[in-house]
A and B are shown apart, each in its own frame.
Chain A
């Protein structure tokens, strides 16, 4: 019905009969159609190949680690402290140490980072100060982690007299991931439609009520993404903690913020460089790497589950 009407309108209103039909529109060059098809297949193949390459690299690393370290995995390995100069026992001390470091660094970096992002995105009115601060924040992301480690040593350990401790190491790690959290949060906040803010303001919400009640909840899934990325880096970095709080060996868990800690990445470093009994420590070293990967993966999955839950609630 609709089509007939359109057809009539067209044939009455416009002299369409003079125009050529699409079947008359031959290929521009002979072989062009063939080339189009070939290019399409080729690009599909290249995309697939790139994906396959990445997957192969990833699988190789994982299977290499599993082959070398799988044998040392056991319940005792993750529940007992190291013994006998790291040649026996488990790695529960560095596991707990790494979890503590993640906790301390996130307690610092997450609120500070999100608040900074809110300031940049909601309050700062452009201008030189904002741009300078933002540039400084971005530059922080490109500082090598070993430099941050030295900064942590000089500032937290020495100047603030926190010593080589869980607190110093956690804060140093926090500084390292601040840019990640700020940038991810800023992007998430910028993606919140202006419409929501207008609606809240029109109901008589103050600036803070708008941010707290509408903007932040809408942006939270994106903010969590920044958190997930940060946890991975915090758990895995060695350089920022080796001067600031991670130790070769600790007789027990850190009981307060000023104790030093063992940490998984540093433990790997220690096993790989400082051991004399290589036959005994190498399997433990690979086992430790596997546990570190599992910890990061586990935390990321919790984060992603939280995010998809929030997405469902929010959107």
Chain B
């Protein structure tokens, strides 16, 4: 096993005191430049887990998180961590495409501008590079000032990916990025995800087992807040060691 980019140690999360935890004692490593898929039935905690990795759960009031999440060996929940620069390093793509109500160009340039980049030439380069890397450049290069809402759903999702990678993150989290898309657009995003792992460490939540099998190197199976099993995708899908994993991937529940 090569160097783990992210190491999660005994992570537990409950949304409010006294309720049963949404995540229980999850320990997991995510290798650098690999693509890991989180699968499991609805409500199993896979999205909650993903949102722990860039501290998006901080916004949930009353949430309690214990355990450690190490990014390059450093705990992202340590008190001296600046959350905004953490989120710059750990980007996120959401379930529904959520471009800002700005132009295509402005959407991609938003992140670099947050970081203080004002140089129009440099911003232009970032916009082009990010759009090329998200496979959208050829489709939008002549209308960068058009509204992002004029794009199709699949294009909007690739725009969101371009926006996320414009700040050059190290990790890219994708929360069911294709659940709102048609099969063609889904195929393009999957292809893109496989490309992206060359540059980034990618974690993808999916409710679609075929998708996990198609795109990921490693798969982690969650059930009721527990990490049941994780390992190389081929192993999880051919010879799972836990009975519950086998039941899930063979479609007996979920």
**Residue positions of A touching B, CB distance < 8 A:** 125, 193, 195-196, 198-206, 209, 213-214, 217-218, 314-315
Contact = CB atoms under 8 A, between A and B. Distances in A.
Contacts of A200: 100, 110
A213 B92 CA distance: 19
Contact of A195 (B61, B98, B114, B115): B98
A196 B164 CA distance: 13
B91 interface: yes
A204 B98 contact: no
Interface stretch (B35-43, B81-89, B214-222): B81-89
Contacts of A218: 100-101
Contacts of B149: 315
A125 to B, nearest CB: 7
A198 B57 CA distance: 11
A203 B111 contact: yes
B98 A203 contact: no
B68 interface: no
Interface in B88-104: 88, 91-92, 94, 96, 98-102
B98 A199 contact: yes
A193, A203, A206, A213 interface centre (most CB from chain B within 10 Å): A203
Q: Which 10 A-B pairs have the closest CB atoms?
A: A195-B98, A204-B88, A202-B92, A204-B87, A203-B111, A204-B84, A314-B101, A199-B98, A315-B101, A205-B114
B167 interface: yes
B163 A214 contact: no
B114 A202 contact: no
21 contacts: A195-B96, A195-B98, A196-B100, A198-B94, A199-B100, A200-B100, A202-B56, A202-B92, A203-B114, A203-B163, A203-B167, A204-B84, A204-B85, A204-B86, A204-B87, A204-B114, A204-B115, A213-B110, A213-B113, A214-B110, A218-B100
